[in-house]
Amino acid sequence: MAILSFADLVNECTKQNKSIYEIAQEQESILLEDTIDVVRLRVLEDLLAMKEAVKNGLHSTEKSISGWCGDDCVKLPQRFNKKGALFGKTFEKIITYALATAEENLRMGRIAACPTAGSCGIVPSVIIAVSEEEKILEAEQINGLLTAGFIGLLISNKVQLAGAVAGCQAECGVASAMAAGALCQMLGGNTSQIIQASSLALKNILGLTCDPVCGLVEVPCIKRNPFLAVHAVTAAELALCGVESKIPMDEIVDTLKITGQLMSPLLKETSLGGLAKTKTAQELEKKLFNKKV
């Protein structure tokens, strides 16, 4: 049976008595005409690429071509090593890894777009940080990533995951929904809780605009990654406690699409509105391109 919606996914999980990641790896195996072992190996490669991006990003202070960004991640351990963050080690790691990955992206380093390059720090930071702190096995991390991927796939069946089409809600917002589902899976959540986690994350980020300064994936994109990673954790924790979204996931995805359609083109990656048109953004643009704005 073709799985085109979250309702279909729940039906299929129930019918086959399988988890979302099991359905995901089966579907991928059919698509690739290869075994489930090969599918899982490919997902492992993605996971390792994510870990490599975090490792590289943690130490680099190389700035982007604009010179605006690239040296924020290294500031975090300087404080955390002296005085831990208010919410503990996992929180420290999540926001640090999210920044590390997003800064690697601006340096044109190797990252795994998840679902896009601008939102590349959200899913990896949550999976890697929580796995390190909770001693979650690699196989479980793969299950988490498969879950995240299938959630992203189902959303992308209805909405193109691009800021130019539906704003940042379709990039960082969807990444947060994917991360929430992955985390819920890794922490032992059932199918319903996983979808609830994604629903809560996505529902509470609807309307986020795409307004990159000078059209570069730097401001506000980079710092959105740690914020939306923590947002994912909130959603997963609520779902694991039994909190449910009153609006079902499929209707939230429909709303994401409609909200994207209603959004002014000025707020969809054109850099003609929002933060991109602030006084400071215009001054930055003038300096960068040495032109009158």
Q: d(Cα 208, Cα 242) in Å, to the nearest integer?
A: 26
Q: How far is the CB of 167 from ligand SF4 (least distance, A)?
A: 7
Provide the terminal-to-terminal Cα distance of the chain, rounded to the nearest Å: 55
Closest distance of CB 171 from ligand SF4, Å: 4
For tokens 């698509």, name the residue.
31
DSSP 247: S
Work out how close the CB of 117 gets to ligand SF4 at its nearest, in angstroms, rounded to a whole number.
Answer: 8
Nearest to 260 by CA among 104, 156, 182: 156
**What minimum distance in Å lies between the beta carbon of 29 and ligand SF4?**
31
CB nearer to ligand SF4: give 189 or 274.
Answer: 274
Residue 241 Cβ, how far from ligand SF4 at the closest point, in Å?
29
CA-closest candidate to residue 117, choices 221, 272, 270, 47: 221
- 236, 90 contact by CB (below 8 A): no
Closest CB to ligand SF4 among residues 119, 245: 119
If one counts every other C-beta atom within 10 angstroms of the C-beta of residue 84, the result is 12
Query: What is the rounded distance in angstroms from the CA atom of residue 172 to the CA atom of residue 139?
Result: 26
Instruction: Report in angstroms how near the CB of residue 78 gets to ligand SF4 at its nearest.
Output: 26
Nearer to ligand SF4, 85 or 288 (CB): 288
How far apart, in whole angstroms, are the C-alpha atoms of residue 237 and residue 212?
Answer: 31
3-class DSSP state for residue 268?
strand
- Element of type H or E holding 224: helix 221-240
Distance CA(224)–CA(119), nearest Å, equals: 8
44 or 164: whose CB is closer to ligand SF4?
Answer: 164
Structure tokens at 206: 């609807």
Nearer to ligand SF4, 118 or 152 (CB): 118
List residues binding ligand SF4 (CB under 6 A): 118-119, 163, 168, 171-172, 210, 212, 217, 220-221, 224, 269
Q: Which is nearer to ligand SF4, 136 or 151 (CB)?
A: 151
Identity of the residue, 60 or 270, whose beta carbon is nearer to ligand SF4 in the bound complex: 270
* Smallest gap from residue 168 Cβ to ligand SF4 (A): 3
